[in-house]
Amino acid sequence: PPHTFSSTYHLNVLDTTTNMMRRSSSIPSSPSPVRCVALLILCTISSSLGFTPPSPQLLGSISSNLSTKSTKLYNIYDDWSTDLLSTASSDYTYEDLILPFCDEEAVEECLEELMDSDYGKTMFGRHDMAANVGITGTLELISLEGPEATLSLIGKFWHRRETVLGKAAMYLNARMPEITSITVASAEDLNDFEEVTDEFTGEVLYVEDKRSPDFNGDRETMEYQGLDPDARGPFPPSVFGSGVKIIPT
């Protein structure tokens, strides 16, 4: 059945901001990788000059910290979306979430965080895993006028385009509560299907599917079962990226 939706997301900034501030906490952050590298270099120089070499315990601690930082896959979007900002599992806190400014550069930075996140690897075509199954979609900022940001959805998405805009809208509002409306330049940007018509008669020739291919049949299977495919995404969690069907044949 046809699906009706609005091309604009209006967000309740008061509720969003209040909830975040209630849950904010001040968790001491670990030393940055840059500081750890500098300390290692200093220890090496001190040793070469005849000073007492650093203890194995100190070097082990530094090495462990570097290893943890270099292998961490989450960015602030992943920590925010999985509710980790108020725990010791995150390098960020809710105090880090809200940006002190709101301009086009900040919006573009937040869109990059979303697209480069672990979650973004399942949604945007800039990543090999998504690109290999035909996903080419990306997000671009068209304009920022006061509290309203206008985005463009380009390419093919496995998710519904409305879902993609919704994810961006919620994150932009969380980072910059001043933004209360996120829209698209044209309502057609949110259509997952497009009617191709004869330019002379206006007759509908065919309907083009603007989504990326249902590469393993999971999307159709979930829709048939009455499930929302976007709630899980294109890749089964237990076999992340392997393309195994929900119901093996």
162, pLDDT greater than 60:
yes
Tokens 């996140």 -> residue: 117
Please determine, for residue 177, whether its predicted confidence score (pLDDT) is greater than 50.
yes
Q: Of 137, 186, 139, give the one whose Cα is nearest residue 159.
A: 137
| Cα–Cα dist 243/217, whole Å | 9
Residue 75 binned pLDDT confidence (cut-offs 50, 70, 90): confident
Residue 31 predicted with pLDDT over 80: no
Residue 97 has a pLDDT of 95
Percent of the chain residues past pLDDT 90, beyond the cut: 63
The answer on pLDDT for 205 being more than 70 is: yes
**pLDDT for the residue 152:** 97
Q: What angle do CA 171, 144, 122 make, to 5 degrees?
A: 35
H helical segments located in the chain: 13-23, 33-48, 56-71, 76-81, 94-97, 104-116, 128-131, 161-175, 218-224, 229-232
pLDDT tens per residue across span 47-69: 555 655 555 554 444 444 443 33
- CA dist 106 and 43 (Å) reads 38
Q: What pLDDT shows up at residue 42?
A: 54
Mean pLDDT of 148-165: 97
Cα–Cα distance between 234 and 198 in angstroms, integer? 34
- Residue 214: predicted pLDDT: 97
Q: Which residues pair with 145 in a beta bridge?
A: 148
List the one residue out of 114, 130, 138 whose CA is nearest residue 241.
130
Spatial separation of the C-alpha atoms in residues 190 and 120, rounded to whole Å:
18
Query: Which tokens go with 105?
Result: 């550069």
Instruction: Assign 237 a pLDDT band (cuts: 50, 70, 90).
Output: confident
The residue type of 241 is G
More confident residue, 6 or 1: 6
Residue 225: exposure state from Cβ atoms within 10 A (0-12, 13-18, ≥19): exposed
pLDDT-wise least confident of 32-36, 145-149, 192-196:
32-36
In the chain, the percentage of residues whose pLDDT exceeds 70 is 65
Where residue 230 falls among pLDDT bands split at 50, 70, 90?
Answer: very high
Q: What is the pLDDT of residue 79?
A: 94
Radius of gyration of the chain, Cα coordinates, nearest whole angstrom: 23
